[in-house]
A and B are shown apart, each in its own frame.
Chain A
């Protein structure tokens, strides 16, 4: 064997793994909001949903590969390695996010809460219709809504970002939004009131 320093390599590998995991964990705003469950044993996972259903979940591999030729490996600097790792993390995060959105899409279809705009522009009506179809929770102490996150393609955001400001300033829109939120509050209150022990 040629002279080597496996302990140093192993420690560096650990550091790289930590960076990779951190990047994956924080690389996507939606993924970073998710809860993480580790399954420490067994080979089957059944997840429960808030509406009382349970569903067996498939395990999915998220992986990415990068290749470095033998002649280039000697000249790799720490910065080069970190760039590669960050690239891998980005790929994996993207893969995870796409899988997550596919699952959400499937659930939305199953629950018939999908809104198909059929290629038409994103309007305030569509926004309100979306809000109307979902559960919104409120803070028990302040009564403030825990507003859901709105996820959209950057191109769409570029198109509507000015509109969002307009919608906020529009009195009539504000009124319609408040009405929906009032209804959502009542729905939430009713839901919470159902959380009880009965005879």
Chain B
């Protein structure tokens, strides 16, 4: 049944939809992926550039559906570029002629096949490289055989997969279900040999592409981004648990590439939208502040991701313009929104707007104090998804929330840490009294790899009140000390990823990680 779902997925995918899984197939065969086109369908006719196991550079152009003679005539100029323009990439030796592949999810009509054969003969006579083809049936067989050994077997698991695969892609990502899918495909509670780990990680990437296809089709880049962030997080958890960073680096890189593509599209759509109105329902006013806040957070986090990764084009003035446009609309609707504001804080700092950055940080702290000490309700904890928060605000919750949030905060601890790191003593002194009435909560996973899971099975929830009389110098000292033992290797291997992880798992923000990221951003 899953095989039929994979066939359905492949038949309905666009080029972008099967690009990452196809790269994963190549990677499993020993190809080293060096470039994936994320900006447009063609870059000199090359959607994917990879080095084959024998060291030959290869360029792939991806298409969907059948290629008739008419269509072939239209795409031929791109194919000529694919064949004849050398690969321009620092990792590719231009003196070695590259191989060219036309890949399609459908079939080539007979006249097209004959024309490709004829042209290949002519090219061979001229000592030129030829065009190789990969068509639908072959692709499908490759995807199925890759997954075969690890396909869910239990009928309830199959049903679960199909439910996710047919989910309405215009919705937020159902994170709990998505996390469960990973644990079905690649359970982390048992030991695996390195060979299996590589295949299981690859499977994770491919299955993510299947179940994220409804979001891809709906161009719901927010949920699509969340899905790839969760995939990356799970792969890092697996690498951390099995000490296999080297072995599954290519799967992690592919997942990060897919994340980046989704966030790039989200940024484009948000910036180009005249007013962020979606659909024009009568109830837009209720949803709008949430949408503006989420987008502000994701845009800032995406820029930070690029900056920490070391790319030169990290700063983008349009993101600051976006912030100015919607400054009055964004609001701290729950503690789950704190990462959105902290991303903005760091991005403003990185673009030299220290004063505005500090005012964001202080605004967040003031909001938490106000919600707890003046309004006496507190903010909904970071464990609740945005949809639940919205439902709670408008009285549409499926199940009542029994938890009380007053005088408790998961964020205040690391916000105080940041205030101390930036020397904002006067502000903190003026707020210390109300702060000491609010319990600070922190969850510490027992095993570092569980940091990257949606929910950690093992670990300690700890609450404590801040010291009533607190030494500022001690606070500053603590705020500048990073305990290496608390840091998973994954955060050091992929420091650019932390800021994205928090967007999806805001409950994973802890003072030790905030200090670490603050330093990484400073260095970027």
Q: Which residues of A contact B (CB under 8 A)?
A: 14, 18, 21-22, 25, 35-50, 52, 54, 191-192, 194-199
Contact = CB atoms under 8 A, between A and B. Distances in A.
A196 B400 contact: no
B429 A22 contact: no
Contact of A37 (B429, B463, B470, B472): B463
Nearest to A53: B464
Given A35-B408, A38-B383, A49-B465, A197 B470 contact: yes
Interface stretch (B38-46, B239-247, B345-353, B453-461): B453-461
A48 B403 contact: no
Contact of A192 (B433, B463, B470): B433
B109 interface: no
Contacts of B461: 37, 39, 41-42, 44-46
Contacts, number: 106
Interface string B374-402: 00000001010000000000000001101
B459 A42 contact: yes
Interface of B: 381, 383, 399-400, 402-404, 406-408, 425, 428-429, 432-433, 436-437, 439-441, 443, 445-446, 455-465, 467-473, 475, 507
Given A195-B432, A195-B433, A38 B403 contact: yes
Contacts of A41: 443, 445, 455-457, 459, 461, 507
Contact of A195 (B399, B436, B439, B471): B436
Contact of A198 (B433, B462, B470): B470
Contacts of A21: 400, 402
Contacts of B403: 36-38
B404 A36 contact: yes
Given A21-B400, A197-B425, A199-B473, 5 more contacts: A35-B404, A36-B402, A40-B383, A40-B507, A44-B459
B432 A196 contact: yes
Contacts of B455: 40-41
B507 A198 contact: no
Given A37-B403, A37-B408, A42-B443, A195 B468 contact: yes
Which of B429, B443, B455, B462 gathers the greatest number of chain A CB atoms within 10 Å? B462
A54 B462 CA distance: 9
A16 to B, nearest CB: 13
Nearest to A50: B465
A52 B470 CA distance: 12
Nearest to A48: B464
A30 to B, nearest CB: 15
Contacts of B436: 195
B470 A45 contact: no
A21 B446 CA distance: 31
A183 B445 CA distance: 45
Contacts of B428: 197
B199 to A, nearest CB: 29
B460 A194 contact: no
